[in-house]
Structure 1
Amino acid sequence: MTASMIKRSVPYYSQWESPGLVPEFITGARPASTDPLWQKSGASSPQEYAFWAPRMCGVACTRMALDYWGLPVPPSVPLVGELQDAGAYVRDGDQVKGLIYQPFAEFVQARWGLYACAKRELPAGEIRTEITRGRLAMVSVHKTVRTPDHAPPSRGGHLVLVVGADDDGVLLHNPSGLPGRSQEFAPLSWTALDRFYAGRGVVLGDST
């Protein structure tokens, strides 16, 4: 981190209720249904929680942003329900399409009065500009960004929140990051980001 780093003091939320157990959840060593804190999610059962937890990266990013701007933070699974009603998640049996950016952005604006702009194209340089303006960027990266030394098989598919930026790179809050390594304020160089980043996302701000 350099002296020129712009770092926003954003609280961290994992997409699982027990951030310390993320390594076990993502490897399958421990079923999400056994998360001792599952009830905090607002789910009606451990099974409902286990279905949604791996799919709630965008929900976790949203909750971080709400907390940062001093707004009430709803439990994760009820928030998923609201986002389904808004068309930002579409469930068909065990398949889920989402997070769908445009209905998500419209929902965020209507629900909380925040600035939210869906970006089909969000160049890396623009991310830094938005952070400088006081905004946050929810961006699509490959889920293996939690271990950035390894080359990803593709780009995109997982949402993280950019909470800082400078000439060297970004700081990420990763909802499925590894505790003590890549969950909070995880540094990533611009070169490394390029390997994981799909070039799209949603910019969030505290007003329209």
Structure 2
Amino acid sequence: MVVAEEGGRGAAVVHEVPYYAQWESPELVREIIAGSVSAADDPRWGASGAASPEEYEYWSWRLCGVACLRMALDHWWGVAPSTMTLAGECLTAGAYERDGDRLRGLIHTPFAAYVQERWGLTAQARELTPEEVSAEVAAGRLVMLSVHPAVRHPDGPEPQRRGGHLVLAVGTTGTALVIHNPSGFAGESQAYAHVPWRHFERFYSGRGIVLGPPEAVDG
């Protein structure tokens, strides 16, 4: 279902997309990020499919892209595989690269190829202007966007860099981009968080992954 109403740029479109955080307990995200609660102490860590709390803690900080994929899969297919199942598949597909204890990713191009081959969605890694992001969402697609994690506070200080975190664009209005933020704070900046267009480019790297439904399915 799509909610549409007239806005400053014309029709405002917000898609009804299930929300998933990159941690299994969305209500603990603020405390985990602040360091007052360890991710290993997340009482729902086992739902991730990790073999231990330590494995869960290691991966959970790197699962923003996987959380976005879970949202898209639930939206179009009605399934949300566990985070570790998807993370393992992404690792095999080259969307993550391990170097000892270091993990590089999510790497956009191999990830897009994996999404198409494994899940049958359309997926394209590309550079997008804010206007193109809005147009893609208005046309029925979802867009994974590389932004600075401080996007959870769009009125906050200027970030030192752009990018480094992935969020899912699920809506567009005349005044804001509507996102699901895997590391947003409960009740504030998780599901359907509005990032004013006037602030968006301070956080946005200019790159994203456009996700669409299977070709035979209308968006």
TM-score with structure 2 setting the length: 0.92
| AA in 1 matched with 2:132 | E
Which of 125, 128, 137 is equivalent to 2:131? 125
User: Does the residue aligned with 2:77 lie in a helix, a strand or coil?
Assistant: coil
How big is the shift at 1:5? Answer: 1.6
Map residues 7-46 of structure 1 onto 2, 5 A cutoff.
7-46=14-53
2:92 to 85, 110, 132: 85
The residue matched to 1:69 in structure 2 has which SS? helix
Asked if 1:141 is matched to 2:147, the reply is yes
RMSD: 1.2
Aligned equivalents of 2:47, 2:87: Cα separation in 1 = 14
Question: Could you give the per-residue CA deviations for residues 91-136 of structure 1, whole angstroms, max 9, x where no partner exists?
Answer: 11221111111110110000111000011x1111001111111000
- 1:25-83 alpha-carbon deviations (Å, 9 max, x no partner): 10111110000000000000000000000110000000000000024221001210100
Q: Which runs of 5+ in 2 are unaligned?
A: none
Q: 69-78 or 4-13, which moves further after superposition?
A: 69-78
Deviation at 1:153, TM superposition (A): 1.6
Whether the 8 Å CA contact 2:5–2:13 is kept in 1: the answer is: no
- Distance across 1 between alignment mates of 2:55 and 2:207: 29
Q: What is the number of equivalent residue pairs in this alignment?
A: 207
How far off its partner does 1:2 sit? 6.3
User: Equivalents in 1 of 2:71, 2:207: separation in Å?
Assistant: 19
- Structure 2 match to 1:201: 208
Question: Would you say the 8 A contact 2:112–2:125 is kept in 1?
Answer: yes
Map residues 114-193 of structure 1 onto 2, 5 A cutoff.
Answer: 114-119=121-126, 121-150=127-156, 151-193=158-200
> Which amino acid letter does the alignment assign opposite residue 52 of structure 1?
W
Q: In the alignment, is residue 113 of structure 1 matched against residue 120 of structure 2? A: yes
Runs of 4+ in 1 over 2 A off after TM superposition: 1-4
Q: 1:135-192, CA deviations, whole angstroms, 9 ceiling, x for partnerless residues?
A: 0000000001111111212110000000000221210100000100000100011111
Separation (CA, whole Å) in 1 of partners of 2:172 and 2:93? 31
Aligned residue number for residue 48 of structure 1: 55
Query: Structure 2 counterpart of 1:141, which letter?
Result: V
SS at match of 1:5: strand
Which of 57, 78, 81 is the aligned partner of 1:74?
A: 81
The worse-fitting range, judged by mean Cα deviation, of 165-174 and 40-49 is 165-174
Report the CA distance between 1:206 and its aligned residue: 0.4
AA aligned opposite 1:81 = G
Aligned-pair identity (%)? 52
